[in-house]
Structure 1
Amino acid sequence: MPTALPLLGVLGGMGPAATLDFLAKLQDLSNALRDQDHRPVVTFSASATPDRTAAILGRGESPLPAMQAALMALERAGVSHVAIPCNTAHYWFDDLQAGTGVRLIHIVEATMQDLDLRFDAVATVGLIATTGVVRSGIYHQRLEVSGRRVLTPPDQAAVMGVIDTIKSGRMAEALPRLAQQVRDLRDAGAEAVILGCTELPLCLSHLPAALQALCVDATEALARASLQALAESDAAFAEGVGA
C-alpha cells in the first residue's frame, strides 16, 4: 500500500508555454472551491532539453539524458506520478518509465480516452502534430489498432511552421494557419482532429466554434488523466491507512 499521499510531478519546459497551459487546465479541471482543494504539484521546467523532433529524425542529440535527469529531480522531490506535457517526448516514454519507480502518465493514451468518450463512432481521425510524432507513429499505432483511419496535413513543413510560430509567441500569426489545417482535414473526411502537439491547444479557444468542436486537446486529456490517476492513488492510500 502507498505510504505517502500522491504527489504530481510535471516534467515540463517542452515548451514552457505548453507547460503553463497544462497547469492551467489541471487547475480548471480540479473543480476546487478554495486553495486547499487543489492538488500539490512539483514542476521541473527542463527547457534546455534538446529538440525532440530533430533527435527522432537523426538530426540532433537525444533528449533522453536531459529528461532522465529532470525525472530524477522530480523523484527526489517525492512525486508519485509524472505528467510530461510534450507529445513528441513520449517517443522515449518506455525508456523513461523503465528507469523510475514513479508512475508516468501517457499523453497518447489519455488522448485516446478523450477521443473515445467524445467521438466513439468516428472512423477517420485527423492528426496535427510534430514531424517527430508523425514519423514515430505513436498516435498512428493506437488509432489504427482501434480501426480508425488517420489523416495528416499534406504539408508537414507548414505544420512545423505553425508550431514554431506559437513557440515564438506569435499566436495571432499562427491562428489562421492552424484553423486552415483543421479545416482542410475536416474537408478531407476527418470527423475529429487531434491536436497532438502541446503548443497547438494554446490557440484552440480562438478557433471558430465549429472547428473547436472537432478538436481533441491532448494537453487537456493529460490533465484529466493525471487527476484521475491521483484520485485512484488517493483511494489506495486511504485503504492502506485504514488497513
Structure 2
Amino acid sequence: MREKGQKVLGIIGGMGPRATQLFYKMIVDKTEAHSDQEHLNMIVLNHASMPDRTAAIKSGDVEELYHKLLHDAKFLEVGGADYIAIPCNTSHLLVDRLQKNLKIPIINMVKEAAMSIYCRYGENFKLGILASDGTIKTKLYQNECKALGIKTVVPSEKNQARVMKIIYEGVKAEKSVDMRELYEIEKEMKEAGCKCVLLASGELSCFKEINRLSDFYIDAMEVLAERAIVLCEKTLK
C-alpha cells in the first residue's frame, strides 16, 4: 500500500467497533481534501474479538491482550503503515511496551490528549476524567496530567458506575441512555471545580457525537485523529 509521497496510517480497531467507525469518520471529516486521492491512506484492522481491556486489567493478567495487540501492530507494520493509532484509551497501558518491539511509532493518545489540554489551558486547573474502570484504575491520564501540572478529578464510586453504564449498557449494547445519568456526573465535576472534562473512552466519544455534548467535554479520540492527520502530512480543515 506504500506509495511515494504518501504516508499510511495503521489503525488497531475493534475496541469497540463503533469507536473505530467514529475514528475513521473523524479522520475523513477533518482532512482538507477535495478528491479521493487527497485523503489519507489507512489500513483499518477491526479486531472486535480482542479481549476486554478493563476485564484484563481487573484480573491482573494482560498478557493475552498484549500479545494480540503486538501481533496486530506488527501486521500493520509489515503491511506498510508509517504510524499506528489505537483508538482505545485503556489499551494504552501497554503502548510503551508495544513500542519497544516495533520499528514504526504508535501515536500515544494519552500523551497527545494531555498535551493538547495543557496547550489550551496551561497548568494549575482541574480536569475531570471520564473513562472506563480500567483506564481510571491504571491512572493513565492522572499521571500524564500530573506531570504537566494539571490537577485531575475522577468520579465518585456512584458516578463511576454511571460512566460504566453509559459505556457498556448504552453505547456497546446499542441502547439509549437516560441523559440524567450524565447530568449527575457533570454536576459532580462542576461542583469539584473542573474547567472541562476529558472523555477518555471511545464509547464516550460516540456518546458525545450522538448527543451533541458541549465544549465542556474534550474528546481524547478527536485529539488522536487530528494528530494522526498532521503526522501523516495531510492538512487539517
| 1:32 partner SS | coil
| 1:195 partner SS | strand
Fraction of identical pairs, as percent: 27
Structure 1 residues 39 and 179: CA distance shift in structure 2, 3 A? farther
Q: 2:162 aligns with which of 158, 162, 167?
A: 158
Question: TM-score of the superposition, structure 1-length normalised?
Answer: 0.86
| 2:205 partner SS | helix
Do residues 168 (structure 1) and 173 (structure 2) align?
yes
Matching residue of 1:240: none
Matching residue of 1:185: 189
Matching residue of 2:208: 204
Matching residue of 1:241: none
Structure 1 residues 105 and 88: CA distance shift in structure 2, 3 A? same
Unaligned 5+ segments in structure 1 are 235-243
Matching residue of 1:148: 150
The amino acid across from 2:143 in the alignment is Q
Instruction: Tell me the CA shift for residue 174 of structure 1.
Output: 5.4
Structure 1 residues 32 and 208: CA distance shift in structure 2, 3 A? closer
Instruction: Tell me the CA shift for residue 4 of structure 1.
Output: 6.7
Instruction: Give RMSD over aligned pairs.
Output: 2.2
1:83/1:105 contact within 8 Å kept: yes
Question: TM-score of the superposition, structure 2-length normalised?
Answer: 0.89
The amino acid across from 1:222 in the alignment is L
The amino acid across from 1:227 in the alignment is I
Instruction: Tell me the CA shift for residue 36 of structure 1.
Output: 1.2
1:12/1:46 contact within 8 Å kept: yes
The amino acid across from 1:110 in the alignment is E
What do the CA deviations read for 1:145-167 (whole angstroms, capped 9, x no partner)?
22222111102222212110211
Within 5 A, what are the aligned runs for 1:1-243? Answer: 5-58=6-59, 62=63, 63-120=65-122, 123-155=125-157, 156-165=160-169, 166-170=171-175, 172-173=176-177, 175-207=179-211, 212-231=214-233
The amino acid across from 2:58 in the alignment is L
List structure 1 segments (4+ residues) > 3 angstroms apart after TM superposition. Answer: 59-62, 205-209
> What is the rounded CA distance, in whole Å, between the counterparts of 1:205 and 1:164 in structure 2?
17
